[in-house]
Amino acid sequence: MKACVVAVGSELLTPFRVDTNSLVITEKLNAIGCEVRLKAVVGDDAHELASVLETALGFADLVVCTGGLGPTQDDITRDTVARVLEMPLVLDETIEERLRQRFARRGLTMAEINRRQAMVPLGAIALENLNGTAPGLWIDRGDVAVLLLPGPPREMGPILDHVVTEYLAPKAGGTRLFRRVLKITGRTESDVDATAQPVYTRWLTRTVPISTTILASLGQIELHLTAASSAEDEARVGLDEAVRELQAALGTSVYSSDGSALEDVVGHLLRGRGLTVAAAESCTGGLLTSRLTDVPGSSAYVERAAVCYSNRSKVELLGVSESVLDAHGAVSEPVALAMAAGIRAAAGADVGIGVTGIAGPGGGTPEKPVGTVAIAVVTPWEEKVLVFWFPGSRDQVKGQATQAALNMVRLLLQKAQRGVAKRP
Amino acid sequence: MKACVVAVGSELLTPFRVDTNSLVITEKLNAIGCEVRLKAVVGDDAHELASVLETALGFADLVVCTGGLGPTQDDITRDTVARVLEMPLVLDETIEERLRQRFARRGLTMAEINRRQAMVPLGAIALENLNGTAPGLWIDRGDVAVLLLPGPPREMGPILDHVVTEYLAPKAGGTRLFRRVLKITGRTESDVDATAQPVYTRWLTRTVPISTTILASLGQIELHLTAASSAEDEARVGLDEAVRELQAALGTSVYSSDGSALEDVVGHLLRGRGLTVAAAESCTGGLLTSRLTDVPGSSAYVERAAVCYSNRSKVELLGVSESVLDAHGAVSEPVALAMAAGIRAAAGADVGIGVTGIAGPGGGTPEKPVGTVAIAVVTPWEEKVLVFWFPGSRDQVKGQATQAALNMVRLLLQKAQRGVAKRP
C-alpha cells in the first residue's frame, strides 16, 4: 500500500511551523508495511487543496489529510475532499447530537457554526474524537481510501490508532517494518557513529536486513534500527541481536532501547530500589524537577525540590555556607555539592541533586563562560560532582544540564545495582 | 509571486526527519513578498516527482526544489525537471572543469559519475556551490521560474541568498509580506473566533488587505495577521490599527502583540514595578518556575521556588497547616492560598504563587477528577484563588496550569498598573 500525507493549514506554510503529524502517521503506516510516497502541506485554499488531492490520488492507494476540520470558514478539508471524490455532503445527526452533548457537558450551548463539523461525505464513516469537536472521517472506495484527521496531535493520535487497527491493517498484509530505538547520552555524534558503524554495516546484508539511521540533538543521540520482514518473530530476533551488539559496543552511554525517556529510566531505578530524590536547582530553574515529575507516579519518589536563584535562598533553604559561596563562587563544584547535600538532608531523601550554572545569555566570564554548569549527585553510598560546558542558547543549556544531571543519577544507580559500589 | 517548495529525498519520508530547509526558504521568499502556497516532500522516484512538479507549476510562478542533485542514480531532480520543462540536458563544460578542479585540490580524480552534476537543462544558469559539488540551477521561463538547490543546508543557504538578491527580488516587484501575532489565553478558540471574526473580516477588503489565521493549542490561541504591501509604512499603519481593533474586541485576554511569550510579559511587568516573585508548585513540578526563568535576566525578580510534592514538604517549607490539609485536601483553594502565602513569606518576595492539582493519569476522584488544579496568587495589594479543570495528558495539564498561573499574575499586575486596585 502506498500513502500520501497531506497537511492542511496556512499556518504550516509560514516560516514558524513544521508539520510533525506526518512523522507520527508515517511511523504507524510503516508499521503495517504501508509506505509514504509524498508529504504535502497546503494552505486554506480549496482550489489548491483539490489540485494536490488529485495528484496524491494519482499515485497512492491511501491519502491521509490532517487539519482543516474545524468549524470555521477557513476549515476547507471536508468540503474539498467531498468535491474531489464527487460525494455529496450530508448532515450526520449522530455527530450533531454528540457535539451538542459535548458542549452541554461544559455548560455551553453549541454555536450554529459547529454544525459544519457534523457534515460528512455520504458513505463516509465518522470516527469519534474523544479529545475535541472535529470527528475524523474514513472513506473507503475500494481502490483508494481517504482518511481525514483533525490537526491537533492529541485529537489526531487516538483516531489514527483506531483506523490503523480496524481498517488499514486488514487491508495491508505482507511485509511490515519493525523498529527499535537506542537512546544515548554523554557522547558526541561522530564518536557514536565511529563506534556503531562497524556493527550496523554488518546488519545491512543479513537475511533480515536492518538499516540504521543516526539522529542527533543537543544532549541526545538516537540510533533508529529498521527491519523489513513479513515474519514478526524473525524481525524481532534480528533486532534484539543488533541491539545487543550495539549496546555492547557503546557501553553505558546507551540509556534505553525501548523508547523510554531518561526520566523514565531514572524513575524506574529509584522505584526499584525504594529510594527517594530531592533536587536543588539554580540555572535549570525547575526544569530538572519538572522532567522528574513528568513520569506518572513520580510522587512516590520525588520528595521535594528547591529552585534557588538567589544566594540568600541557597543559604536559607540548603544551608550552603556564605564562606563557600564567597570562596568558590555560586557556580562551582563545592557549591553544587553543598546544594545536593543540603536538599538531601532537608528533605530526608536518599538521593540529592544540586545544579548550578550560567544559562546565559548574560553572566559569563572568561573563566566561567555561559554554558558552564556544575552538577552534583549525593547518595548514601557515593557522591559525584562534575563541571560541564554546554553550547547553545539559554534553553539549550538548561535542557542539556537536566539531561546530564539525570544521566549522572542513572549511572550512579546502575553502578550500585551492578554491586560495584562500596556500600556504607 | 506564488511559490511551491519541493524537497526531494526518500530519507525525508521516514518517521525521523522533517524538511527544515523549507522554513529557511519560506522566510527568504516572504521577505520579498513571495508567498509559499505548497510544500511537498517526494522520494527518489522520477514519475512521482514529475507529477508533483506539474501540480506545482499549475499554481505557482516559482518552484524551488531542494535535494536530489548529487552524482548517483538516486539523484533524479535535474533529469526530471528537464523532462517536465521539456528542456534538453547538455553538458556544461565550465561546471565540469570546476568539478575536476575541486577534486584535484583535494588530491582526488573526479569519478566519471560526477559528470552527471555538470549536466544542465539548456538555457539554465548554473549557480556555483562554494560548500559542495552540486551546483544550483536557475531556470527562468518568463511566466514560471524553477530553482534547484542542493539539500545540505550549508550548501543551499548561500546559493539561495544569491538567487533571492540577483534574480528574485527584481522579479518580485515590490509587494512584501508583513506579519503580526496576537497571543491570547484564558478563552476558547471558538469564543475568540466569534469575537474576532467581525473585525478581521473587515480587514480583508481594505486598501492594504490583512488576512488572519487562527492557531490554537491547549491554553493558547494565536491570531496571525499578514499584510501584503509594497509600502512598509502603509502595511505597518494597517497592521497597528487591526491589532488595536482586535485588542479592543478581545480585551485583556490578549497578552502580547509583539511575539512575546507569557513569561516574558510577566517578567516585564515584575521588572517594571521592581517586584520579586516566588512560587510553590505541587502538580506543575517545577515547570512554572522553569518558564519564569526561561527569560534572560529573570534572576533579577525570581527569588526562589519550592516544589512540594509531599504533604510533609508543604508543611515544612511553606507552613501549610496540617489541619487545612486534612479539612480540604491537598488540592483545594485554601491549600493553594496557604502555599502562595507561605512561599511569599519564606522568600520575602512581593508576589507568591501556589499551584496544587492532579496532573494524572492516576489520583483523580469523582469530586476532583484528573486535571483539577487550584491556583493562588498573593500580592501586597490583592490575593486571588481559582480552581480550573484542564483536559489532556499529564504534561498537557502541567502546561495549561503554568499558563493559567502566569496569566493570573499578569492580570493582577496589569490591573494594579491601571490603578484599579486597592492599595494597602
pLDDT in tens, A47-56: 999 999 999 9
Coil, helix or strand at residue B245? helix
Q: How far apart are CA B123 and CA B82, in angstroms?
A: 11
Instruction: State how far the Cα of A308 lies from the Cα of A289, in Å rounded to an integer.
Output: 13
Q: Is B289 on the interface with A (CB under 8 A)?
A: yes
Contact A351, A339 (CB under 8 A): no
CB distance from B198 to chain A under 8 Å? Answer: no
Residues in A touching B214 (Cβ below 8 Å) = 72, 74
Q: Which residues pair with B222 in a beta bridge?
A: B183, B215
Instruction: Kindly list the distances between the CA atom of residue B277 and the CA atoms of A47, A136, A318, in Å, as whole numbers in the listed order.
Output: 52, 45, 19
- Phi then psi dihedrals of residue A248, to 5 deg: -65, -40
Q: Is A393 exposed, middle or buried (0-12, 13-18, 19+ CB in 10 A)?
A: middle
In this complex, do A308 and B309 lie within 8 Å of one another by their Cβ atoms? no
Calpha distance A420→B360 (Å, rounded): 37
C-alpha cell at A52: 494536490
Residue B215 touches chain A, beta carbons under 8 Å: yes
Is the CB of residue A114 less than 8 Å from the CB of residue A99? yes
List beta partners, residue B41.
Answer: A39, B7
Does the CA dihedral A265-A271-A272-A274 come out positive or negative?
A: positive
The residues facing B304 across adjacent strands are: A308, B278
- What residues of chain B, 104 to 123, have a C-beta less than 8 Å from chain A? none
According to the model, what pLDDT value does residue A158 have?
A: 96
Cross-chain residue pair A287–B286, CB shorter than 8 Å? yes
Q: What is the mean pLDDT of residues B92-114?
A: 87
What percentage of chain A's residues is helix, strand, coil (to nearest 5)?
45, 25, 30
- Give A417→chain B minimum CA distance, Å: 26
The confidence score (pLDDT) of residue A251 equals 95
Helix pair angle (A189-203, A232-250), 10° resolution: 140
ipTM of this complex: 0.81
Q: Quick one: CA dihedral B284, B285, B287, B292, positive or negative?
A: positive
pLDDT at B137: 97
Neighbouring C-beta atoms of residue B131, cutoff 10 Å:
14
Average pLDDT value over all residues in chain B: 92
User: Exposure of B21 by Cβ count < 10 A (0-12 exposed, 13-18 middle, 19+ buried)?
Assistant: buried
Residue B305 to residue A310, Cβ atoms within 8 A = no
Q: Which residues pair with A384 in a beta bridge?
A: A377
Sign of CA dihedral A167, A170, A172, A175: positive
Beta carbons of B360 and A296 less than 8 Å apart: yes
Residue B8: closest CA among chain A residues belongs to which residue?
A38
> Which residues are CB-contacts of A109 (< 8 A; sequence separation ≥ 6)?
A103
Q: B126 near B92, Cβ under 8 Å? A: yes
- At B90, list the grid cell: 547538455
Q: Interior CA angle at B91 toward B86 and B97, to 5°?
A: 150
**B258's grid cell:** 509583539
Q: What one-character DSSP code corresponds to residue B423?
A: P
B389 has which bridge partners?
A: B372
A5, A22 Cβ separation under 8 angstroms: yes
* CA torsion through residues B293, B299, B302, B308, sign: positive
CA distance between the termini of chain A: 61
Number of H helices, E strands in chain B: 14, 17
- Going along B287-397, which residue ranges are E strands? 302-308, 351-357, 372-378, 383-389
Report the distance separating Cα B43 and Cα B23, nearest Å.
Answer: 19
- B308 vs A41, A48, A304: nearest CB: A304
Q: CB of B337 within 8 Å of any CB in chain A? A: no
Burial (0-12, 13-18, 19+ Cβ within 10 Å), B109: exposed
Residues B10-30 pLDDT 10s:
889 988 888 999 999 999 998
Cβ distance of B20 and A18 shorter than 8 Å:
yes
Are the beta carbons of A265 and A255 closer than 8 angstroms? yes
Inter-chain residue contact B36 with A18, CB threshold 8 Å = no
Residue B211 corresponds to which cell in the numbers above? 488576512
Which residues of chain A register pLDDT less than 70? 420-424
What is the pLDDT, as a whole number, of residue B59? 86
Which runs of E-coded beta strand occur in A9-115? 35-42, 62-66, 89-91
Cβ-nearest to A306 among B38, B214, B304: B304
Alpha-carbon distance A355 to A367, whole Å? Answer: 18
Tell me which chain A residues have a C-beta less than 8 angstroms from the C-beta of B11: 213
In chain A, what residues touch B12 (CB-CB under 8 Å)?
39
From chain A, pick out residues whose CB is under 8 angstroms from the CB of B347.
313
**How far apart, in whole angstroms, are the C-alpha atoms of residue A156 and residue A127?**
11
Cα–Cα distance for residue pair B97/B114, rounded to 1 Å = 11
Scanning B377-406 for CB atoms below 8 A from A yields: 391-396, 398
Per-residue model confidence (pLDDT) at position B420 = 56
Q: Which residues, in sequence order, are bridge partners of residue B226?
A: B179, B211
CB within 8 Å of chain A, chain B residues 9-48: 11-20, 23-24, 26-27, 30, 35-43, 45, 47-48
At A344, give phi and psi (nearest 5°): -65, -45
Contact B7, B49 (CB under 8 A): no
Average pLDDT over residues B252-263: 96
A106-144 burial: b if 16+ Cβ within 10 Å, else e: eeeebeebbebbbbbbeebebbebebbbbbbbbbbeeee
Contact B172, B33 (CB under 8 A): yes
Rounded CA-CA distance A292/A61 in Å is 44
Query: pTM for the full model?
Result: 0.81
Return the SS3 of A351. Answer: strand
Tell me which residue in B213, B296, B310 faces A11 most closely, judged by beta carbons: B213
pLDDT, tens digit (0-9, with 9 covering 90-100), for B367-423: 999 999 999 999 999 999 999 999 989 999 999 999 999 999 999 999 998 875 555
Q: Do B290 and A290 touch (CB under 8 A)?
A: yes
Nearest Cβ partner for A289 among B16, B47, B286: B286
d(Cα A130, Cα B285) in Å, to the nearest integer?
27
Beta carbons of B294 and A395 less than 8 Å apart: yes
How far is it, in rounded angstroms, from Cα A69 to Cα A116? 9
Are B376 and B354 contacting, i.e. CB atoms less than 8 angstroms apart? Answer: yes
Domains plus CATH for chain A? 2-172 (3.40.980.10), 176-256 (3.30.70.600), 262-417 (3.90.950.20)
CA distance A207 to chain B (A): 22
